[in-house]
Amino acid sequence: MDRLEKIEKLRERAQVSYDEARAAYDEANGDLLDALILLEKQGKVAPPKGDGYYRSEQTVSEPVTEEKEEHSRGRRSNTEQENNNNFKETLDKIWKFLTGLVKKGNETSFEILKDKEHMASFPVTVLALLLLFAPWVTLPLIVIGLFFGFHYQFVSNNSDTDR
């Protein structure tokens, strides 16, 4: 692999400009891993997940300074905050979906007819709850009703006709 290919690989991996990749590559004396570590220390590359630290050569561990600890804690709290925000957004989407579903179920009626005469009507939400909590009663009643000439229909009570 020639110098240009290594710099290109570093640039793609680190998502930095050619100039930054070349400078890091030259400073690391042609070692891609050292160049990547250098870019990480400069803050141009995100460190690996889990607050890991990688290095191509063994060195004596540096004492941990308060500044490094604060930076590490800040990074963790930012990640936790992003996870909390993603979780809240997901819960928000689920809540909006469920409230929209209940609203639509309340706007739509399940009607029972016999010989084109209206016998009963109730929201689809009630039908869904009956099917969910008492299907052994609800389903047989619907089927038996068919044998006795009952017809069923769903009717939208929504005033918006363009939906």
Q: Establish if 60 belongs to a structural domain.
A: no
Q: What is the pLDDT of residue 132?
A: 94
Establish if 19 belongs to a structural domain: yes
Q: Is the distance from CB of 122 to CB of 161 less than 8 angstroms?
A: no
Work out how many domains the chain is built from and give that number: 2
| Structural domain contains residue 15 | yes
Task: Map residue 62 onto helix, strand or coil.
Answer: coil
Kindly give the confidence (pLDDT) of every residue in the chain, 163 residues in length, as a single tens digit, with 9 standing for 90 and above.
788 888 888 888 888 888 888 998 899 898 888 888 888 888 888 776 665 555 554 444 455 555 555 555 555 567 777 878 888 889 999 999 999 999 999 999 999 999 989 999 999 999 999 999 999 999 999 999 999 999 999 999 876 654 4
Task: Report the relative pairing of strands 108-114 and 150-156 from DSSP bridges.
Answer: antiparallel
Is 77 domain-assigned? no
Say which DSSP state 46 is in: P
Nearest to 116 by CA among 163, 83, 152: 152
Q: Domain of 30?
A: 1-50
Q: For residue 33, what is the domain's CATH number? A: 1.10.8
| Dihedral over alpha carbons 38, 52, 58, 44 (to 10 degrees) | 0
The pTM is what? 0.45
Evaluate whether residue 88 is within a structural domain. no
Query: Closest by alpha carbon to 49, among 74, 83, 75, 82?
Result: 75
Provide the pLDDT for residue 163.
44
Nearest-angstrom CA–CA distance, 20 and 10: 10
**The pLDDT value given to residue 65:** 54
Whether residue 97 is contained in a domain is answered as: no
User: Does 126 reside within a domain?
Assistant: yes
Tokens of 38: 């250098």
Does residue 27 lie in a domain region? Answer: yes
